[in-house]
Structure 1
């Protein structure tokens, strides 16, 4: 599988787990929604600050299993940043990543810092049709029990103070994220 795993010598990342790298940040996002704009900007800005980042840059190769590598990268990260966009909940992989993040957060093994890119936190909290419709489609394919876990993770993540780019613009959001991350890794 071709995954972009970046580590900067300044971060002092230690070898850990099956990936060989311990990441400070794992970015979770729906590629078609944010990859070419917000996510890439955030990714390169984090690298410029010397923060090691795991990001899916190449996509998934056909026929390769992505679960173990993705979940290991989440487990090997200090902070996970789900970037909620209108299409985030339509991706079963984004939902699986979020569920895993929230489970790890409960055991105090991971910090989750949500970014609401082009949705309101209330959308993610399932108070509007934006995410409800996506979960309804998943329910037909994946079953009610799995989708119930995903809905719970979505509601839980909205209880975490994050950044809302819809009302502030993503440049302002990025400017407020960096000081927070810098203090987290200092």
Structure 2
């Protein structure tokens, strides 16, 4: 198994016994007074239940950011008291790789000995953000092997298509069979195709 860092089409993870999906510790620092300063980082996957535009908020003291699929969605920089910032991103159903960063800075001398404080609360919509870890099977297929299998589905342009383009071309029946728990799926070409596309 290898920890992956890329977006997953839902077919690649949900209902697929070859992937291990585990909930991680909450990426949150509750508000409290502290004498400490320093940096905190988290990474993992967020789970998106349906295609759509999602709103994200981070409450921070002092600075930090939320990054999804390599793009910063919400960020605050500089020295300030607890402040929130929001952003939105259009996401496909599935698991998307996220990074969170928080940095608590020292209290300026001009307001010392006012106590320092720490806070970092990321949210997705109105709920606290959850992170997941995905252990993915190593893909032993090369592009030539994947192309041979995809030719069975009459997908001739796999190297120039996105994963979503391929799934759209094949049609919805494959997704329906997969998510319904069809036992025939477990040892089918569809399973190998899912791994090939990942």
Which protein has the bigger strand share? 2
TM-score relative to the length of structure 1: 0.26
**Structure with bigger RCO (C-alpha 8 Å, 6+ apart):** 2
Which protein has the bigger helix share? 1
Q: Which has the larger Rg? A: 2
TM-score relative to the length of structure 2: 0.25
